[in-house]
């Protein structure tokens, strides 16, 4: 199975800050990498697909990069609605696997 | 508008069974691979099973293989998860989800709201 390791597990930030979350795959997954945002009590929502493509309707302050084993999700200027938990997921092979999550909090 | 609506969750004793259903609307179910995922309280997301559009390819995570069965009825726009021999560690919110097609590289682009499964004696 492909292991996905996210860091940090939590980050404290303020409105307007730049936030970067990293995700590392245990083997090469090319760009079969997605990022999801989840708010408490809600279902996750797709933010980034194919490592760097912005899902429709997601603000442009979100960006993704990377390929192979190392990936990043960046929020260029944190807004109040961005406080949430973020997960990476690989879709290169089954079983699909997720990172442990990064909680972005004040 | 794409919508996925799970039902069938509830309280069950260890060793018991539940059947989850997911009603899909706003898209042609038969054109997509569908997936069940779960999230235990305070934990990360866990992929459980996927089924392709024609039910010819089915995949399970190791912890549920042999106990859970994913199926679909495209004519009725429905996805199912039969869960047998339930364990305390199966307790979670269960999500029905759609795998994107083509250029989105199998990202999960739509999720249901989730249904809670509680396994307790």
| Count of Cβ atoms closer than 10 Å to residue A105 Cβ | 11
**Weakly modelled stretches of chain A, pLDDT under 50:** none
Is residue A47 a contact partner of residue A86, using CB atoms and an 8 Å limit? yes
CB < 8 Å to A100, chain B:
44
User: How large is the average pLDDT for residues B85-89?
Assistant: 97
For the cut 80, the answer to whether the pLDDT of residue B101 exceeds it is no
Question: Would you call A16 helix, strand, or coil by DSSP?
Answer: coil
CB < 8 Å to A36, chain B:
45, 108
Q: Where does residue A81 fall: left (phi above 0), alpha (psi -120 to 50 degrees), or beta otherwise?
A: alpha
pLDDT at A101: 97
Quick: pLDDT tens for B31-63.
999 999 999 999 999 999 999 999 999 999 999
Could you say which of A44, A50, A55 has the minimum Cβ distance to residue B111? A44
Q: Does the distance separating the beta carbons of B104 and A53 come in below 8 Å?
A: yes
Nearest residue of A to residue B111 by CA position? A43
CB < 8 Å to A95, chain B:
47, 59-62
Quick: pLDDT tens for A71-88.
999 999 999 999 999 999
* DSSP-derived secondary structure for chain B: --EEEEE--EEE-TT--EEEEEEEESS-GGGS-EEEEEE-TT--EEEEEEE-TTSS-EEE-TTTBTTEEEEEEGGGTEEEEEE-S--GGG-EEEEEEEE--GGGTT-EEEE---EEEEE--
Look at the block and give the residue holding tokens 């997720």: A98
Helix (H) or strand (E) holding A68: none
The mean predicted confidence, pLDDT, of chain B is 96
Query: Measuring CA to CA, how many Å separate B4 from each of B21, B28, B115?
Result: 10, 12, 11
The CA distance from A47 to the nearest CA of chain B, in Å, is 9
């Amino acid at each position: 199975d492909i292991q996905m390791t996210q860091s940090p597990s939590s980050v404290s930030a303020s409105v307007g800050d730049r936030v970067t979350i990293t995700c590392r795959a245990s083997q090469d997954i090319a760009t079969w990498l997605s990022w999801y945002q989840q708010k408490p009590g809600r279902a996750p929502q797709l933010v980034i697909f194919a490592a760097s493509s912005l899902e429709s309707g997601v603000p442009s302050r979100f960006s993704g990069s990377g390929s192979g084993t190392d990936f990043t999700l960046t929020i260029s200027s944190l807004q109040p609605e961005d406080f949430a938990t973020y997960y990476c997921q690989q879709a290169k092979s089954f079983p699909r696997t997720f990172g442990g999550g990064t909680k972005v909090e004040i | 508008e794409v919508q996925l609506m799970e039902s069938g969750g509830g309280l069950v004793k260890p060793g018991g069974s539940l059947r989850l259903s997911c009603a899909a609307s706003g898209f042609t179910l038969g054109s997509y691979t569908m997936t069940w995922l779960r999230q235990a309280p305070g934990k990360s997301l866990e992929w459980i099973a996927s089924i392709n559009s024609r039910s010819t390819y089915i995949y399970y995570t190791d912890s549920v293989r042999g106990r859970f069965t994913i199926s679909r009825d495209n004519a009725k726009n429905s996805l199912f998860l039969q869960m047998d021999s339930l364990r305390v560690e199966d307790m979670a919110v269960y999500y029905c989800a759609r795998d994107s097609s083509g250029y989105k590289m199998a990202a999960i682009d739509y999720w249901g709201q989730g249904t809670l499964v509680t396994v307790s004696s």
